Structure 1
Amino acid sequence: MAFVVGWVLVLLLLALWSSLVWAVQSFLTGLLAHAGNVGSGGWSLPESLRDWLPAAVADWLVSTVETLSPQLQSLASALPSLTGGVTLLAWVVWTLGAVMLFVFGLAIHVGVALWRKSKASTSPPATTIP
């Protein structure tokens, strides 16, 4: 029974892991797919951030963002093409996690087997009545 409980635990963790990887992959794919929709006027420092920063730092950040605006726009335009890479990365991450969970399941299985063996060896031998 302990073997079954251990493997059911591993299967439940695998289902949780699969759901987590699938959700993150879907989120990142959607985020990257819509990243190219940012207009050229969208690259500016928010006013609320400027209020919190010292004036010299805020001016430097504004000029840096304005200078890098064409590069940021070209990067944003290239992001939708990375969605296939996110899918491949999700499969690689899922596989690594699944292998780790399988190894965890094997460790539980071996641990239960060793525990049963040590429990059987410490119990007194059964006496037979003639």
Structure 2
Amino acid sequence: MLYGISWFIVASLLALWSLFTWAVHAMAVWAVSQAGALSGMASGSMSVSLPAWLAPWVPPGLTADLTDWASQLGLLVEGLLQAMPSLAGGLTVLAWVVWAIGALLLMLTGAGLHALIAWWRRKSVPPTLGLSSATP
């Protein structure tokens, strides 16, 4: 009975692990496939301006450097966002590898529980029960 309960728990955890991995994979593929559409928004939103109360305290050279740095960062982000849809196939392989590692760990846990239950049952059986020695 304990064997059945332990393997039922392991099978239920495996089903939850599979569902979780599938959901994360689906969300990641959706996000990566939509990332190319976001690249147009990234280039238009990269204007750096300091608040009015901070402008007198910041040297104009530093403001120009920050603006140049932000524009370079914007170009880098735009390039990465345009390259993202091509990475969707790699996400599928990664999801399968992660799922397989988790499933293997769950199966090893089930085998460990099985061995632990077997050890516990052997330990709890009295040793004189199986042997009938008559002493005169």
In structure 2, the partner of 1:100 is: 105
Gaps of 5+ in 2: none
User: 2: CA distance between counterparts of 1:127 and 1:67?
Assistant: 83
1:41 aligns with 2:41: no
Pairing partner for 2:124 from 114, 119, 124: 119
After superposition, the Cα gap between the structure-2 partners of 1:125 and 1:23, relative to the gap in structure 1 and judged at 3 Å, is same
Aligned to 1:25: 25
1:66 aligns with 2:71: yes
* C-alpha distance 126-35 of structure 1, shift in aligned 2 (>3 A): closer
Question: 1:41 and 1:93, CA in 2 relative to 1: closer, same or farther beyond 3 A?
Answer: same
Q: 1:108 to 1:126 in 2, by over 3 A?
A: closer
Structure 1 residues 15 and 44, CA gap change in structure 2 (3 angstroms): farther
Distance 1:61 1:91, change over 3 A: farther
Q: Structure 1's 42 and 29: CA in aligned 2 closer, same or farther, altered over 3 A?
A: farther
Q: Quick check: which one's helix share is greater?
A: 1
CA distance in 2, matches of 1:28, 1:9: 28
Could you tell me which residue of structure 1 aligns to residue 10 of structure 2? Answer: 10
2-side partners of 1:6 and 1:44: how far apart? 59
- For normalisation by structure 2, the TM-score amounts to 0.76
Give me the whole-angstrom Cα distance separating, in 1, the residues matched to 2:89 and 2:112: 35
Q: Which has the larger radius of gyration?
A: 2
Give the whole-Å Cα distance in 2 for the aligned partners of 1:36 and 1:13.
36
User: How far does residue 84 in structure 1 lie from its aligned partner after superposition?
Assistant: 0.6
